[in-house]
């Protein structure tokens, strides 16, 4: 009976850990890999996805993030980070300067950055599930037990 409670506890802890890794990877690209101690991979993923997203903003200004008229594009862009929602809130009201063509190449770049981050989120959660990375604080329990 004690084994069942221990197994349920480990299952719940692992499930919660996977959710934390997934949310961290969505909040800050590469943070999920950083949490599972894949630091180099996390830094590379952060650099690449952020460079892609910032390039899209540079090419088309903030107008590329428009959840009123470009709702389908916004769904792909929000996968990059919840910070995209803040940018979308600013563009919803208008009154911002637009340099370039917002509904063109910049929108494509930001959408690709969002979809790339979705792959990174899935990678981090899968790696955490398979045990490739380590749960923070979990190694201390093994040393003491």
pLDDT digits (tens, 9 = 90+) for 46-91: 999 999 999 999 988 888 888 888 889 999 999 999 999 998 888 8
Q: 112, 52 in Cβ contact below 8 A?
A: yes
Lowest mean pLDDT among 2-11, 32-41, 126-135: 2-11
Residue 117 CA: distances (Å) to CA of 34, 94, 143 = 14, 27, 35
The predicted structure's pLDDT at residue 71: 87
Could you list the residue range(s) of the whole structural domain that residue 38 is in?
10-139
Structural domain count, the chain: 1
Lowest mean pLDDT among 26-30, 47-51, 98-102: 98-102
Q: Answer yes or no: is 2 within a domain.
A: no
Q: 120, 26 in Cβ contact below 8 A?
A: no
Q: How many residues does the chain have?
A: 145
Q: Model-level pTM?
A: 0.80
Q: Answer yes or no: is 65 within a domain.
A: yes
Q: Answer yes or no: is 144 within a domain.
A: no
Structure tokens at 116: 């790339």
Per-residue confidence at 30, pLDDT binned at 50, 70, 90? very high
Structure tokens at 114: 């969002």
């Amino acid at each position: 009976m004690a084994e069942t409670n221990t197994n349920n506890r480990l299952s719940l802890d692992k499930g919660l850990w996977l959710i934390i890794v997934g949310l961290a990877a969505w909040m800050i690209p590469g943070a999920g890999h950083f949490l599972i101690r894949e630091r180099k991979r996390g830094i590379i993923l952060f650099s690449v996805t952020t460079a892609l997203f910032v390039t899209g903003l540079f090419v088309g200004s903030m107008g590329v993030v428009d959840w009123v008229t470009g709702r389908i594009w916004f769904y792909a862009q929000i996968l990059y980070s919840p910070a995209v929602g803040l940018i979308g809130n600013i563009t919803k009201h208008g009154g911002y300067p637009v340099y370039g063509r917002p509904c063109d190449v910049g929108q494509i770049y930001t959408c690709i950055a969002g979809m790339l981050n979705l792959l990174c989120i899935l990678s981090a959660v899968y790696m955490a599930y398979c045990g490739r990375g380590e749960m923070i604080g979990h190694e201390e329990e093994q040393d003491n037990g």
